[in-house]
Amino acid sequence: MPVAEDDRPGVRAVIIDDHDVVHAGVQAWCAEADPPIHFVGNYLDPLDFVRRYPQATPDVDVVIFDLQIDGNKPSFDTLRTLCRAGHRVVVYSHITADEIILSCLDLGAISYLAKSEGRAHLIEAIHSATADTPYMGPRMARALLNDNAAGRPHLSEREKEVLVAWFQTESKELVGRRLYIAPSTVRTHLQRARAKYAAIGRPAPTKSALLARAIEDGILSLSDLV
Q: What is the DSSP string of 137-202?
A: -HHHHHHHHHHHHH------HHHHHHHHHHHHSS-HHHHHHHHT--HHHHHHHHHHHHHHHHHTT-
User: What's the rounded Cα separation, in Å, for the pair 207 and 91?
Assistant: 31
> Which residue ranges form the domains of the chain, and what is each CATH number?
5-149 (3.40.50.2300), 157-225 (1.10.10)
Torsions phi, psi of 35, nearest 5? -60, 160
**8 Å CB contact between 101 and 112:** yes
User: What's the rounded Cα separation, in Å, for the pair 71 and 6?
Assistant: 41
Helix (H, G, I), strand (E, B) or coil at 221: coil
Tens-digit pLDDT profile for the chain (226 aa)? 333 344 446 899 999 999 999 999 999 999 989 999 999 999 999 999 999 999 999 999 999 999 988 777 889 999 999 998 989 999 999 999 988 998 898 888 999 999 999 899 999 999 999 988 889 999 998 988 877 666 678 888 888 999 999 999 989 999 999 999 888 889 888 988 888 888 788 889 999 999 998 888 888 887 788 7
DSSP H or E run through 27: helix 20-30
Torsions phi, psi of 111, nearest 5? -145, 160
pLDDT at 53: 96
pLDDT at 27: 95
User: What's the rounded Cα separation, in Å, for the pair 9 and 131?
Assistant: 13
Q: How far is CA 163 from the centre of its chain?
A: 19
Identity of residue 104: C
User: What's the rounded Cα separation, in Å, for the pair 47 and 182?
Assistant: 34
pLDDT at 6: 41
Nearest Cα neighbor of 36 from 71, 68, 61 is 61
pLDDT at 198: 85
Identity of residue 183: P
Whole-prediction pTM: 0.68
DSSP per position, 35-77: S-EEEEEEESSHHHHHHH-SS--TT-SEEEE-S--TT-S--HH
